Every structure is written in structure tokens, then in C-alpha cells.
A and B are shown apart, each in its own frame.
Chain A
Amino acid sequence: MKANQDGRYLIDSYVEEVGSQLPLRQRGDIQTEIRSLLEDTLEDRLRETGGEADVEMVAVLLEEFGSPYKMAVQYAPDRYLVGPKLFSLFLLVLKIVLTVLIILGLIGLGIAASQAESFANGLRIVGRNMLEMVNGMLMTFAWIVIAFAILERVLPESEKDDQDWDPRKMERVPDQDKIKRVEVMIGMVFATIGVIIFNFFPQLVRGVSFSGGQVQTFQLLDANFLRFIPWLTTLWSLEILFSIVLLWRRVWEPATRWIRAGIDVLEMVFLAALIFGGPLFATSPEALAAWPSKNLVPLAETGLRIGLGIALVMDGVSLVEMLVKQLKKNALKVS
């Protein structure tokens, strides 16, 4: 690292690191305040010295503020179950354990549902398993909190970490505006495949059955679903065009964020129409006969609707995240 390069990125890293050790409720406000204080002090020093905000100057300033841990401790509430030193580890453990639980729960749910004898029975099994999963997650959450609360009070606090802390060794915070090219390209490829298959090779979207040693295909999707194809094609085409624009612009800009939000809204409307619309899988006698069991059709319907529902929620979350990011940026610019 060159000593004379602009060291302001260290401020980003410092603010990010302090924030990661603070409760979510206070995080944003405290981060804005620390950034403002650091920039005020830095500006004053630049006025005095007439120099550049190089790595060394910013590092010295950060050392005066103290390590991110020390700063977070000062800002943290007086009483807490899990303090700043363990908070980021606590969140990490919580995320890993809960993710594993959800995955295992969903696998169990799938296995249990596949053994259902009827649709009503399948729904009962799904409901019971979901309740058990939520109960398990709450219990696990409680145990993790208790374990960390005990660690917080038992572990001796080492001053070594603070003394060894060197702002020069902090890594850059990833640029929030920079697009993730690989993600965009993968999305574009899938949208293109979707458009091609549904419009030019619809025969590929068929169910496959084996009877009498022969492979047979049957109409898998209901006519109700197929009438959505023009909408789906429009949405995928929008995705492709948008991805091309994004790859060309390289960074997220206000205009692209708002367009993304618009496409997300359209996708959500489309998903809601699918979820609450008519049947998704074909129920003609020919199609029903091709399924291993007739009972699987309603289960597959429910499964697909749950999947679409999850996609709808994820779209909603990404929409809110994007809007919050943009509104925050706007607020900073205006104010």
C-alpha cells in the first residue's frame, strides 16, 4: 500500500467496523455521526498542514479515535446481553445456525409432505412441521443468546487486541454502487434461456413419465399458466435489456435503481397473479395419469405456490433495500 494514496477509504472501513459491533437500531445514526466527526477533524488538519489526506494522516487520526471496538464500547448502551466485542460473532453464529435449521427443516418438510396420503393430510403435515420449525428456531435463538451472554460475563477482556489494532491494515469497504457483474450476467443468461424455451421450444416444458418401459411426455403446465407466457416474456426481456444497461453503466445510479424498483414491482404483481390465479399444473386426465400419484398434483401446486411466494417476499425485501439505499443517498445529498 502506498503511503501517499488517498486514505479516506480507511474512514469507510473504520465506520463500517464500528457499526458491525453496534445494535442495529442505533447503527446508522452513530455511523453517520462518527463519519461526520472524522471528516471534520481531518478537514481541520488538512487546513493546518495544507497536505493531502493520505493513508498515514488518516491512520493517525483513527488511532486517536481509538480502535473500532473501543469506540463501539463507548457508544454501546450501558447494559447489554451481548457486548460489542462478541456482537459480530454472535450475529454470524446466529445466521449460520438458523440457516442450517431452515434448510434441514425444509428438507424434512419436503420428505414428510411427499408421504402424505391426501391433500388435506399434506396441508396438516406442512402446518405441523412449520410450527415445529419455528419453535426450534426460537429455542435455538434463546440458547445462543444465553451462551453469548454467559461468555460476555466470563471471558476476560484482553487489551492485546486494542494495542495490536492498526488502521493501516483495515480493508476497503466494497463500493455499494458498484454492480456485481457476475450476478447480473447470470440473471441475464437465465432470462434469455427462459425467453427462448417458452417461446421457441415450448415442447421442452413438458412432464416426463415412464410406463411400460417407454418414456412419454405429457403437458405439465395448465393452460391458465400458459396464458401468462407473454407477460413472462415481457418481464424477462425487460430484465435482459436492464442487465445490458447495467453492464454498460458499471455502477448503480439513481435512474437504474428506480428502474430496478419498477421491474421488481412488476415482477411482484406477476408473481402474485400466479400465486392467487388459477391452476398451475395441468389437470387433464392424460396429465393426471402420467403422475406417479394423483395426490402429488395438489402438493406440487402448493409447493410451487410456496416457492413463488418466497420469490415474491425476496423481491419485496430487495425492493425495500434498494429504496432505502436510494432514499438515504438522496437525504444526504439534499441535506
Chain B
Amino acid sequence: MVKKETPRSLPENLTLELRRGVIILAVLSQLDEEQYGYSLMSKLTERGLEIDQGTLYPLLRRLESRELLESHWRVEESRPRRYYTISAKGAEVLPLLIEEWNQLTEVMKGLLQ
């Protein structure tokens, strides 16, 4: 559907868009050890990056469909949980993204000064 932005939703949407790229990098950087959705969410929050739950969880699946993550179901405490970990392809891409991120933050600092 065609999204109609209101004065109320505009800043929120722009912030979301701004964060979207950051979230991918943040998620890939934290998945060298396997995590399930909620544990990853808690880990990111603990380290100061608060992400909307409705954004993070679907993103994990999208990254998996792009073969940057791998996942498997495991049952713990009588509940099935999907565990995610970075894939070989994701591990290859991550350093490139980090390098890009470092360059970008330098550029942005200069622009915003």
C-alpha cells in the first residue's frame, strides 16, 4: 500500500530508516555466538542499542534469507526457540561493513560539524 506520512509519523519513520542500516551491522556483530531472538534483544539493549521488537525479529529472518545468518530450532524450557548465528557469508561481509561504517562516521562527523 502507498504509505501516507503524517507530521507525527515523519520523524519516527526517518529515525527508523536511519537506524535500519545500523541494526544490520549491530546484529551481525553480536552473532558470532548463537542467540535466540529475545537473548539478542537483551544483549543489544544492555549495550545501549534499543531496538523495536517488531523490527529486530523480522530482520533476523531477512538476514537469514540473504544467507548472512543461519538458524535452527531448539526446544528449551518446553518452548521451541530459533537460534541464530552468523554464517560464513555473513562473517565475510561483516569486516567490509565495519570498514564502511568507520569511513561513514568519519564523513558524517565532518558534515555535521
The residues of A with any CB-CB pair to B shorter than 8 Å are 30, 32-34, 36-37, 39-41, 44, 64-66, 70-71, 74-75, 83, 85-86, 152-159, 332, 334-335
Contacts and interface: CB of A to CB of B under 8 A. Distances in A.
A36 B82 contact: yes
A152 B1 CA distance: 5
25 contacts: A32-B80, A33-B61, A33-B82, A34-B57, A36-B36, A36-B37, A36-B79, A36-B82, A37-B53, A40-B38, A44-B38, A66-B53, A74-B58, A74-B59, A75-B58, A75-B61, A85-B1, A152-B1, A153-B2, A156-B4, A157-B3, A159-B4, A332-B80, A335-B73, A335-B74
Interface string B1-32: 11110100100000000000000000000000
A40 B45 CA distance: 15
Contact of A37 (B38, B74, B75): B38
B54 interface: yes
Nearest to B9: A159
Given A36-B80, A75-B61, A41 B53 contact: yes
Q: Counting chain B CB atoms within 10 Å of each CB, which of A33, A44, A156 scores highest?
A: A33
Contacts, number: 73
A32 B71 CA distance: 14
Interface residues of B, number: 27
Given A37-B38, A41-B38, A74 B55 contact: yes
Contacts of A152: 1
A26 to B, nearest CB: 9
Contacts of A74: 54-55, 57-59
A154 B54 contact: no
B99 interface: no
B33 interface: no
Nearest to B4: A156
A71 B54 contact: yes
Interface of B: 1-4, 6, 9, 36-39, 41-42, 52-55, 57-59, 61, 73-75, 79-82
Contact of B81 (A36, A70, A75): A36
B48 to A, nearest CB: 19
Contact of A157 (B1, B39, B58): B1
A155 B1 contact: yes
Contacts of B61: 30, 33, 75
A335 to B, nearest CB: 4
Contacts of A75: 58, 61
A334 B2 CA distance: 44
A33 B3 contact: no
Nearest to B39: A40
B80 A70 contact: no
Given A33-B82, A75-B61, 11 more contacts: A32-B73, A33-B37, A33-B61, A40-B37, A40-B39, A66-B53, A74-B58, A86-B1, A153-B2, A155-B1, A158-B4
A156 B2 contact: yes
Contacts of B6: 159
